[in-house]
Amino acid sequence: MRITTNTVAVVTGGASGLGAATAAALAEAGARVTLFDLDEARGAAHAKALGGSFQRVDVSDPASVAAGFAAVEAAGAGLHILVNCAGIGPAAKTTSRGQPHDPAVFARTIGINLIGSFYCASQAATLMVRGEPVSADGERGVIVNTASVAAYDGQVGQVAYAASKGGIVGMTLPMARDLADKGVRVMTIAPGLFLTPLLEGLPQEVQDSLGTQVPFPSRLGDPSEYAALALHIVGNPMLNGEVIRLDGAIRMAPR
């Protein structure tokens, strides 16, 4: 679909990193953007800078997600785009130092990354299908999820994270099939290594070393490159039900 000033978008995790860059690109293209995030200070400041709005939403809590989308609905302009970027990436092995993986950490990772993406997608789709088609193809909405290359080549310590991202890969096609007759497309981006606050905290030499593991271009990805793909997906109606790796050809080693 073409982004116009009538286009309404929600970006989860929009206060930081890939979500913040995507929200900025959507706003730049003319869309009215609402950020959903737990981080109220950064989220509200970024929303203000974009001329958008902010809702404090915990994506792992269906009532919180419902309240966020109720606010979007109350604005009265519908909903056309959801980009799911909220996520966490804890590190823990299946068993370590004689102790099993903390079950709460595993559940929380699945709860935010996988179930949270699903809650947002399902509630967003419910709003999208109430709207009128916005293209000659009959498109009503586009949902972009964020997996990770860890869905395919998860490293030591990424068992919970990789499981959550593998779940996002697995739900992409059936969700696209569920929504096909409603004119809502569903795509997933599986990023490699991107320079976001997640990695900015690492020492420069570690960042450089991670960058050299990328075959080409041999550097960390810039969040604007993720945003550019998200916007391309929105604009290209033939992209549906698929996962795109955005990774400079990296295949992660076991550790």
Ligand X SMILES: NC(=O)c1ccc[n+]([C@@H]2O[C@H](COP(=O)([O-])OP(=O)(O)OC[C@H]3O[C@@H](n4cnc5c(N)ncnc54)[C@H](O)[C@@H]3O)[C@@H](O)[C@H]2O)c1
Query: Rule CB under 6 A: which residues touch ligand X?
Result: 12-13, 15-19, 37-39, 57-60, 85-89, 112-113, 116, 146, 148, 191, 193-194, 196-199
CB 40, min distance to ligand X, A: 9
* Alpha-carbon gap, residue 66 to 45, rounded angstroms: 23
* Alpha-carbon gap, residue 91 to 109, rounded angstroms: 10
Q: Residue 117 class from Cβ within 10 Å (0-12 exposed, 13-18 middle, 19+ buried)?
A: buried
Annotated catalytic residue 152: no
- Please give the single-letter amino acid code of residue 214: V
Q: Residue 88 class from Cβ within 10 Å (0-12 exposed, 13-18 middle, 19+ buried)?
A: middle
58 vs 139, beta carbon nearer ligand X: 58
* Alpha-carbon gap, residue 138 to 182, rounded angstroms: 8
Choose the catalytic residue: 119, 152, 161, 226. 161
67 vs 198, beta carbon nearer ligand X: 198
129 vs 228, beta carbon nearer ligand X: 228
CB 9, min distance to ligand X, A: 16
Contact by Cβ (8 Å): 103, 58: no
CB 37, min distance to ligand X, A: 4
Contact by Cβ (8 Å): 145, 91: no
CB 98, min distance to ligand X, A: 29
Which tokens in the block code for residue 219? 């550097």
3 vs 15, beta carbon nearer ligand X: 15
The residues that are catalytic are 161
